[in-house]
């Protein structure tokens, strides 16, 4: 019976000896026809299996190769070898799945992340990605725990939608029509009335607008699901498919929004430190080795664990966009024209290099910027009394720049309608959104956090394609 197996993490954690168990896992190494390092994915640590010489057939021993899946029963005993306190003395060994040693691409050596991206279907079997995806699981669980404990309602927002929440137009279109011969109108345009949904539809870029609808009745809600951007950005920070956490809170303003976002980030990081310390320690050591390859001036001032503890133990720096612009204009990098995008006037959109300067060089801690120019922000953000800015906030984190974007939403119907008209957003297509402002409107706020960017920050990984199991990006949709 397979379900009676013991997970290796549990075995290594108990250190109880002189009892018989069954374990199952994959061979990491096999030495001297006697010592198997077995791993089952529950931890990076391997359980040493000891085979008594002469006890097992040579034919069986030849099948114990790197990557092979085994079922092993035997007695847990104290280990005399270095590196482990206990080991399993095998009584029976069964090969559940063979692995061709000549063809198996993951040999017991260090592989580059670039190479592992080429075999992403097998990279789960490495220590690095074992740690990353166990942490990803913990963070996902912690997200639900945080909002559940605060009384939020989890909302499943639609993946197929007819709206463009961000107004950017970079969306993947969804159709059931014959692309070779679509139905057309007399003027030659595509007749979407004959399509499956009877109108143009897309993969969602955000669940925010739908979350606002629910918040106007349920109070506090959150969405957590996949979102899509057809943005042709082939960078280490962008994906075409990624996950977003988007809480929406009735009876909340910008300050409430900032407070819960900061509390949320600290909670999630602390959860990882409390529940995934072994994996974080492994990734921290890996990061130290990676940093040694960089020039001294590009190396991080803090180690991974130190950085995470610093974030949860310190208040985030809060300042306005206007104050940030003045800091950037006066910076040595800007004066010496070392920024790729120079800061020369109020109103420009901040780039990643500016955000990272504020976080990593100037304040040396996470930063919350508020009150951005309305021209560079979305239509739904509440306009401030100055007529120039909106009640928006972005949280900037070391290493990656923007990690959270949020705002107080515009609850005043007349102001919202005017802004939508200015930005040429069709009011008739968003009648349902405007209805929330007609029937019991209330101040409300929310934010969006890209899950993969959060994982990047917590794990210390540097490429967003390495923190999602099957990355989607331009010219790539494997598996």
> pLDDT tens for residues 313-360?
999 999 999 999 999 999 999 999 999 999 999 999 999 899 999 998
CB 106 within 8 A of CB 127: no
pLDDT at res. 295: 81
CATH class of 125-170+205-466: alpha beta
The pLDDT tens digits of the residues spanning 397-446 come to: 888 889 999 999 999 999 999 999 999 888 988 999 999 999 999 999 99
pLDDT at res. 166: 64
pLDDT at res. 165: 66
The pLDDT tens digits of the residues spanning 215-235 come to: 999 999 999 999 999 988 888
In sequence order, which residues have a C-beta less than 8 Å from that of residue 4 and are 6 or more positions away? 22
Environment class of 112 (CB within 10 Å of its CB; exposed 0-12, middle 13-18, buried 19+): exposed
Residue 419, token pair as written in the block: 């802004």
CA distance 338 to 354: 11
Residue identified by tokens 């390092």 is 37
Distances (CA, A) of 91 to 47, 50, 52, 71: 15, 9, 9, 11
Q: DSSP letter for 302, please.
A: S
What is the average per-residue pLDDT within 245-262?
A: 98
CB 393 within 8 A of CB 370: yes
The CATH superfamily holding the domain 2-108 is Nucleic acid-binding proteins (2.40.50.140)
Query: What percent of the chain shows pLDDT beyond 90?
Result: 81
Q: Pairing state of beta strands 241-250 and 444-450?
A: antiparallel
Query: Where does 79-219 show beta strands of DSSP type E?
Result: 86-97, 153-154, 160-161, 173-174, 201-203
Residue 356, token pair as written in the block: 């990272």
Is the per-residue pLDDT at 302 higher than 90? no
Domain boundaries, the chain: 2-108, 125-170+205-466
Rounded to the nearest integer, the mean pLDDT of the chain is 93
CA distance 284 to 281: 5
CA distance 34 to 61: 9
Helix, strand, coil shares, percent, the chain, to 5: 35, 25, 40
What is the average per-residue pLDDT within 89-102?
A: 96
Is the per-residue pLDDT at 2 higher than 70? no
Environment class of 32 (CB within 10 Å of its CB; exposed 0-12, middle 13-18, buried 19+): exposed
Confidence label for 110 from pLDDT (cuts 50, 70 and 90)? confident
Confidence label for 80 from pLDDT (cuts 50, 70 and 90)? confident
Query: What percent of the chain shows pLDDT beyond 70?
Result: 99
Residue 201, token pair as written in the block: 């539809």
Q: What residues does 228 pair with on adjacent strands?
A: 241
What is the average per-residue pLDDT within 17-37?
A: 95
pLDDT at res. 1: 58
Is the per-residue pLDDT at 3 higher than 80? no
The pLDDT tens digits of the residues spanning 153-198 come to: 999 999 999 877 666 568 999 999 998 889 899 898 899 998 999 9
Environment class of 371 (CB within 10 Å of its CB; exposed 0-12, middle 13-18, buried 19+): buried
pLDDT at res. 163: 78
Distances (CA, A) of 5 to 35, 40, 91, 93: 20, 11, 15, 13
What is the average per-residue pLDDT within 18-22?
A: 94
Q: What residues does 248 pair with on adjacent strands?
A: 221, 446
Q: b/e string for 50-88 if b means 16 or more Cβ within 10 A? A: bbeeeebeeeeeebbbbbbbbebbbebeebeeeebebbb
pLDDT at res. 386: 95
pLDDT at res. 167: 60
């Amino acid at each position: 019976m397979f379900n009676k197996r013991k997970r290796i993490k549990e075995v290594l954690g108990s250190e109880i000896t002189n009892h018989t168990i069954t374990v199952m896992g994959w061979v990491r190494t096999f030495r001297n026809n006697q010592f198997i390092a077995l791993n089952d994915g529950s931890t990076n640590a391997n359980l040493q299996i000891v085979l008594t010489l002469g006890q097992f057939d040579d034919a069986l021993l030849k099948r114990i190769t790197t990557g092979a899946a085994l079922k092993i029963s035997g007695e847990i005993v104290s280990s005399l070898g270095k590196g482990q306190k206990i080991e399993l003395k095998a009584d029976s060994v069964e090969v559940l799945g063979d692995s061709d040693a000549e063809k198996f691409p993951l040999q017991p050596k260090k592989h580059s992340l670039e190479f592992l991206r080429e075999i992403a279907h097998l990279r789960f079997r490495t220590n690095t990605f074992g740690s990353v995806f166990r942490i990803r699981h913990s963070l996902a669980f912690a997200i639900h725990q945080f909002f559940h404990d605060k009384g939020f309602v989890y909302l499943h927002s639609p993946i197929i939608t007819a709206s463009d929440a961000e107004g950017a137009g970079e969306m993947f279109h969804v159709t059931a029509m014959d692309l070779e011969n679509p139905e057309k109108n007399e003027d030659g345009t595509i007749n979407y009335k004959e399509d499956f949904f009877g109108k143009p539809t897309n993969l969602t870029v955000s669940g925010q607008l739908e979350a606002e609808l629910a918040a106007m009745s349920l109070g506090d809600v959150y969405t957590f699901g996949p979102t899509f951007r057809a943005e042709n950005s082939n960078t280490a920070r962008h994906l075409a498919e990624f996950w977003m956490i988007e809480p929406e809170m009735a009876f909340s303003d910008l300050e409430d929004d900032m407070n819960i976002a900061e509390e949320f980030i600290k909670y999630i990081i602390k959860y990882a430190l409390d529940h995934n310390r072994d994996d974080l320690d492994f990734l921290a050591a890996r990061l130290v080795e990676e940093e040694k390859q960089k020039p001294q001036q590009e190396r991080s001032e803090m180690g991974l664990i130190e950085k995470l503890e610093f974030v949860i133990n310190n208040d985030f720096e809060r300042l306005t966009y206007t104050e940030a612009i003045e800091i950037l204009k006066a910076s040595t990098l800007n004066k010496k024209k070392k920024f790729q995008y120079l800061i020369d006037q109020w109103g420009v959109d901040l780039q990643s290099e500016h955000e990272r300067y504020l976080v990593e060089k100037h304040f040396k801690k996470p930063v919350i910027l508020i009150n951005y120019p309305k021209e560079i922000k979305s239509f739904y953000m509440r306009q401030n009394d100055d007529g120039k800015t909106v009640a928006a906030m972005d949280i900037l984190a070391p290493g990656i720049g923007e990690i959270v974007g949020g705002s107080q939403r515009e609850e005043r119907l007349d102001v919202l309608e005017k802004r939508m008209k200015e930005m040429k957003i069709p009011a008739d297509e968003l009648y349902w959104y405007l209805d929330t402002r007609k029937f019991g409107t209330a101040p409300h706020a929310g934010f969006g956090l890209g899950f993969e960017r959060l994982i990047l920050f917590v794990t210390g990984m540097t490429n967003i394609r390495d923190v999602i199991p099957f990355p989607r990006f331009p010219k790539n949709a494997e598996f």
